Amino acid sequence: MAKALGIIAYNDSSVYVEGMQSYRPIAAFNFMGRFRMVDFPMSNMTNSGMDNIQVYINGNPKPLFKHIGRGRQYNINAKHGNLELVPLYKENMTGRITPDVETYYENLHGIQASNCDYVIIAPTNIIYQADYAELLDQHIESGADISILYQNIDNAKEEYIGCATVQLNRQKGVESLSRNMGKYKNRSLSLETYIMSKEIFVNAILEARKTSALYWLRDIINDLCSELDVRGISYHKKIYYVYDLKSYYAANMATLELENMKQLQNWSVYTRSYDSSPAIYPNGGSATNSYVSNSSKISGTVVNSIIGRGAVIGKDSLIENCLIMPEATVAANAHLKNVIVDKYANVTHKKDLEGEPDKPLYIGRRETV
């Protein structure tokens, strides 16, 4: 059976979540109250039998080193598998603009040393459920040199502006990679997931460095479309795509929809476990159609919201359509609607806060309002 090295990639500067990304990389973002976004590609890989995984980190690496650790929560066996966390460091270059190609090149020895014949590269900002073993078999059987996962969308004029797309011919051959500029309703959205042999990946990295100091992996793959057999694999299930603050909020809110809840319950997603007590609901507190994490204290009313671990909602408060991060506090008699309250923040003085569904209000990490 063919083996694949799993690479979890970081994003370029076209993906930027204002406020939140100042404190941690997107891979470390809280999702659904109890997970980090990196948990989803990691779980996809380990559920697919992959035990050689490299996580590339652009931004403060501390949250991910603490969260991922040795990877035991993902069922990675240290005796037979290998988990490597690769933080970005490049002298005289900022983390925002350093291409992934440079980081792969710096770790090329580690990539070549793996006992895998193939490489599967997945992003942390696009959450989807996939069996990579099946996708790898599909890639090999097709005879393609490179396969790219994509999804057809019909709202490209309004959403996914600046996100990567693929141009396909009738045989699902990829002719080029580009960006969604909002000109057309229907586009093929790239899920930034690439499957290829390790040999092709290494050669692509070397060629990219010779071509341009600012080339990303997608740039060299775009060039290779005219030389190699690059094909698209269509993905039809639900995706949660994060590329700015609005999409991060919308992705979390979408998990509260009944059909999406059912699908997520059938997905084995692993995360770091904590020795914590269950949530409590004193003073008549309640939660409806919400995710409420352990150790939280709900003394008010929570509706269609996500409450992180250890968060406190004060007596007679009303929380609607909100993301309340771990260890955040909302005082008594507050009313929050369409608000993101980041970790350790305190809503104690300005108690009537409301954003818009397409423009949520953001309260920063450790801020007091």
Rounded to whole angstroms, the Cα distance separating 273 from 230 reads 40
The structure's pTM equals 0.94
Coil, helix or strand at residue 12: coil
Closest CA to 119 of 39, 193, 219, 29: 193
Cα angle, residue 351 at apex, residues 345 and 353 outer, rounded to 5°: 85
Q: What is the per-residue pLDDT for 95? A: 46
Q: Are 217 and 100 in contact (CB under 8 A)?
A: yes
Fold held by 276-363 = UDP N-Acetylglucosamine Acyltransferase; domain 1 (2.160.10)
Q: What is the per-residue pLDDT for 92? A: 52
Rounded to whole angstroms, the Cα distance separating 287 from 33 reads 14
Q: Are 236 and 230 in contact (CB under 8 A)?
A: no
- The domain locations on the chain are 4-264, 276-363
Q: In what order do the strands lie in the sheet with 339-341?
A: 291-292, 306-307, 323-324, 339-341, 361-363
Low-confidence residues of the chain: pLDDT under 50: 93-95
Fold held by 4-264 = Spore Coat Polysaccharide Biosynthesis Protein SpsA; Chain A (3.90.550)
Coil, helix or strand at residue 192: strand
String of b and e for 12-50 (b: at least 16 CB within 10 Å)?
beebbbebbbebbbbbbbbbbbbbbbbbbbbbbbbbbeb
